[in-house]
């Protein structure tokens, strides 16, 4: 299903087989060629762009996003709450232990051990107590009394004196597939930022592994798409039809799943991010909690960056979704566009899903970036650097 600004995609080569693919009903519309930024020397109208829908999280389904589930009724009369099935959302207040994660050998080394070791840096896996507010949902991030924020305290160090063009790479929708998540953590360099679904199980485990491997981490937040409720972003999605208090309550649940992340980015959200009234209290909550916001640009009508600048929220803009067409040629084209953008403006941000072909093309791309004078930076190193597009 395409919005009024979209056109059906052309037939592309078949992507590589993947052990955990997202179901079609979770795909999100993408309006401005998956939210991409026009190059400074390029102007494109929506009619010139063909793009398929952008993948959303592999999220828990079956409960409409307009209906927040009742934990008591969901649990029934059982004295002990059952553990959710893999990939399902734990009930609020339910203790879910960390069962052993199966060791799944990734499909070969996608980057040489020498490349992965050259800038290896382990980040602390211990949350900063002053940055945590304990609530009935769980721990929420908060600005410390002395002004420290999660987006700075949990950031991967970056040399601001480095004047090379910066490119941030964000792999999103992690945590729903153990094999894909393990590949991203172990076989991509620490400069690559990893974004996790709040609906995933074992988030504490994955966040700790990611930070130990040097990755800056984020959460993806489900927001209302254009074709909701046909495309349902899950039971805790932020929805325009709810009042601000209800959306903030849902937001608190989402943010309390884990600690140690620098910020959030939207999954889906083409309708929600275009509605300033609905968005304002959510963005204000991000600022209150010391988080940065990466606008995934699921619509060219997004006002998220405008609102962020008005209230002083640290923000980053996605320039390319590299695998909205999951083929080698299409991904390479988006990566090349990111290089051009970074060369001309100094900065570029790309996002992708944990597909084998995405990992493969990034692995081919990274050594070339080094040779051609770019630097791969964590997403926090691009906060407030990009002009509004």
pLDDT 10s digits, 277-286: 999 999 999 9
What is the rounded CA–CA span in Å between residue 341 and residue 339?
A: 5
pLDDT value of position 285: 98
pLDDT of residue 272: 98
CB 298 within 8 A of CB 35: yes
pLDDT at 202 over 70: yes
Contact, 59 vs 26, CB < 8 A? yes
**Higher pLDDT residue, 41 or 315?**
315
* Bridge partners (DSSP) listed for residue 267: 222
Residue 83 has what pLDDT? 33
DSSP at 145: T
Contact 74, 91 (CB under 8 A): yes
Q: Which backbone phi and psi does 230 adopt, to 5 degrees?
A: -60, -45
Query: Residue 261 above 50 pLDDT?
Result: yes
Contact by Cβ (8 Å): 265, 293: yes
- Report pLDDT for 40: 56
28-32, 168-172, 190-194, 234-238, range with the lowest pLDDT:
28-32
Q: Is the pLDDT of residue 139 over 70?
A: yes
Q: Are 201 and 84 in contact (CB under 8 A)?
A: yes
Between 242 and 19, the more confident residue is 242
Q: What is the pLDDT of residue 102?
A: 38
Interval 116-129 mean pLDDT: 87
Residue 57 CB-density burial (10 A; 0-12 exposed, 13-18 middle, 19+ buried): buried
User: Is residue 348 predicted with pLDDT exceeding 80?
Assistant: yes
Lowest mean pLDDT among 86-90, 177-181, 266-270, 306-310: 86-90
Percent of all residues in the chain with a pLDDT value above 90, rounded to a whole number:
68
Q: Is 204 a residue whose pLDDT tops 80?
A: yes
pLDDT at 97 over 50: no
pLDDT confidence band for 36 (50 / 70 / 90): low
Give residue 354's pLDDT.
97
Calpha distance 131→139 (Å, rounded): 9
Distances (CA, A) of 361 to 51, 168, 295, 357: 19, 15, 23, 6
- What does the pLDDT read at residue 41? 53
Comparison of pLDDT for 69 and 276, the residue scoring more: 276
Mean pLDDT of the chain: 80
Q: State which H helix or E strand residue 203 sits in.
A: helix 203-212
Return left, alpha or beta for 107; rule: phi > 0 is left, psi -120 to 50 is alpha, else beta.
beta
Dihedral of alpha carbons 318, 361, 32, 230, sign = negative
What distance in Å separates the CA atoms of residue 173 and residue 220, rounded to the nearest whole number?
A: 7
More confident residue, 186 or 72: 186
What is the per-residue pLDDT for 119?
75
Q: For 167-195, what is the mean pLDDT?
A: 97
Q: Please report the pLDDT score of residue 101 as a whole number.
A: 37
Check whether 371 has a pLDDT greater than 90.
Answer: yes
Range 312-326 burial, b when 16+ CB lie within 10 A, else e: ebbbbbbbbbbbbbb
User: CA-to-CA distance for 318 and 380, rounded, in angstroms?
Assistant: 13
pLDDT of residue 360: 96
- pLDDT digit string, tens, across residues 325-339: 999 999 999 999 999
Q: Does the predicted model carry a pTM greater than 0.85?
A: no
- Cβ-in-10-Å burial (0-12, 13-18, 19+) of 267 comes to buried
Residue 54, pLDDT > 50, answer: no
Secondary structure (3-state) at 195: strand
Reported confidence tier of residue 98, pLDDT bands at 50, 70, 90 = very low
Q: Which residues contact 40 (CB under 8 A, 6 or more apart)?
A: 341, 344, 345
Which residues make Cβ contacts (< 8 Å) with residue 129, sequence separation at least 6?
none
The predicted pLDDT at position 203 comes to 96
Q: Are strands 315-317 and 292-295 parallel, antiparallel or unpaired?
A: parallel
Which fold is adopted by the domain 130-389?
Answer: TIM Barrel (3.20.20)
What are 326's two structure tokens?
Answer: 């999951």
Residue with tokens 């927001």: 223
Confidence label for 137 from pLDDT (cuts 50, 70 and 90): confident
Residue 190, pLDDT above cutoff 50: yes
Nearest C-alpha neighbor of 121 from the set 192, 178, 172: 192
> Which residues in 107-161 belong to E strands, given as ranges?
132-134, 139-141
Taking a C-beta distance cutoff of 8 angstroms, is the pair 342, 162 a contact? no
What is the C-alpha separation between 303 and 307, in angstroms, rounded? 6
For residues 263 and 286, the answer to whether their CB atoms sit within 8 Å is yes
Whole-number pLDDT of residue 37: 57
């Amino acid at each position: 299903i395409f919005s009024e600004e979209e056109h059906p995609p052309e037939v592309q080569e078949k992507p590589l087989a993947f052990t955990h693919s997202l179901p079609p009903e979770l795909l999100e519309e993408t309006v401005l060629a998956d939210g991409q930024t026009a190059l400074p020397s390029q102007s494109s109208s929506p009619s010139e762009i063909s793009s398929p829908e952008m993948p959303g999280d592999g999220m828990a389904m079956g409960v409409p996003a307009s209906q927040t589930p009742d934990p008591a009724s969901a649990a029934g009369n059982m004295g002990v709450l059952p553990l959710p099935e893999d990939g399902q959302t734990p009930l609020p207040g339910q203790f879910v232990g960390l069962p052993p994660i199966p060791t799944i050998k990734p499909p070969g080394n996608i980057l040489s051990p020498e490349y992965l070791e050259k800038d290896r840096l382990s980040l602390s896996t211990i949350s900063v107590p002053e940055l945590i507010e304990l609530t009935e949902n769980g721990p929420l991030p908060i600005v410390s009394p002395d002004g420290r924020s999660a987006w700075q305290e949990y950031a991967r160090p970056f040399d601001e004196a480095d004047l090379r063009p910066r490119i941030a790479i964000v792999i999103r929708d992690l945590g729903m597939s153990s094999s894909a998540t393990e590949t991203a953590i172990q076989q991509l360099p620490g400069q690559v930022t990893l974004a996790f679904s709040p609906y995933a199980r074992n988030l504490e485990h994955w966040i700790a592994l990611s930070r130990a491997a040097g990755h800056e981490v984020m959460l993806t937040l489900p927001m209302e798409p254009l074709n909701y409720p046909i495309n349902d972003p899950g039971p805790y999605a932020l929805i325009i039809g709810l009042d601000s208090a209800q959306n903030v309550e849902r937001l608190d649940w989402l943010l309390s799943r884990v600690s140690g992340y620098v910020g959030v980015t939207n999954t889906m959200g083409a309708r929600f991010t275009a509605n300033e009234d609905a968005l304002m209290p959510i963005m204000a909550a991000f600022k209150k909690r010391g988080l940065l916001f990466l606008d995934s640009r699921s619509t060219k009508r997004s006002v998220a960056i405008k609102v962020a600048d008005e209230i002083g929220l640290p923000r980053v803009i996605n320039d390319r979704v590299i695998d909205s067409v999951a083929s080698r040629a299409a991904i390479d084209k988006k990566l090349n566009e990111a290089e051009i953008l970074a060369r001309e403006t100094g900065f570029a941000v790309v996002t992708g899903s944990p597909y084998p072909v995405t990992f493969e093309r990034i692995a081919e791309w990274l050594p070339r970036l080094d040779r051609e004078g770019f630097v791969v930076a964590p997403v926090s190193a691009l906060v407030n650097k990009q002009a509004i597009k």
